[in-house]
Amino acid sequence: MKPAIRQARPEDAAVLQALRREAGWDADALPAWFEAVTRGERAMWVAELNGQLLAMVALDFFDADPEVADGNGTASVTSLAVTAAAARQGLGRTLTLFAEEQARSRGIRVLTLNTRPTNAAALALYRGLGYQAFKQQPRPWGEAVFLRKTLGTAR
Ligand SMILES: CC(C)(COP(=O)(O)OP(=O)(O)OC[C@H]1O[C@@H](n2cnc3c(N)ncnc32)[C@H](O)[C@@H]1OP(=O)(O)O)[C@@H](O)C(=O)NCCC(=O)NCCS
Under DSSP, the state recorded for 61 is: S
pLDDT by residue (tens digit) across 17-67?
999 999 999 889 999 999 999 999 999 999 999 999 999 999 999 999 999
- Taken as a whole, the chain contains a residue count of 155
- pLDDT, residue 154, reads 56
- pLDDT, residue 2, reads 87
H runs (alpha helix) in 5-119: 13-22, 30-38, 91-105
Alpha-carbon distance values, 22 to 19, 48, 56, 138 (Å): 5, 17, 13, 23
Say which residues have a Cβ less than 8 Å from residue 51's Cβ, sequence separation at least 6. Answer: none
- pLDDT, residue 90, reads 97
Segment holding 42, helix H or strand E: strand 42-49
- pLDDT, residue 152, reads 82
Nearest-atom index, ligand 1, CA of 119: 44
- Given a cut of 80, is residue 121 above it in pLDDT? yes
Decide whether any atom of ligand 1 lies within 6 Å of the 95 Cβ. Answer: no
Q: Whose CA is nearest to atom 10 of ligand 1?
A: 90
Are 79 and 34 in contact by the 8 Å Cβ rule? The answer is: no
pLDDT by residue (tens digit) across 100-112?
999 999 999 999 9
- Given a cut of 90, is residue 87 above it in pLDDT? yes
155 pLDDT band, cuts 50/70/90, is low
Average the pLDDT over 94-119 and give the result. 98
- Given a cut of 90, is residue 153 above it in pLDDT? no
Under DSSP, the state recorded for 33 is: H
Residues of the chain with pLDDT > 70, as a percent, come to: 98
What is the distance between the alpha carbons of residues 110 and 91, in angstroms, rounded to a whole number? 22
Residue 129's φ and ψ, nearest 5 degrees, are -95, 5
Query: Could you confirm whether domain 4-150 is CATH 3.10.129.10?
Result: no
Decide whether any atom of ligand 1 lies within 6 Å of the 115 Cβ. Answer: yes
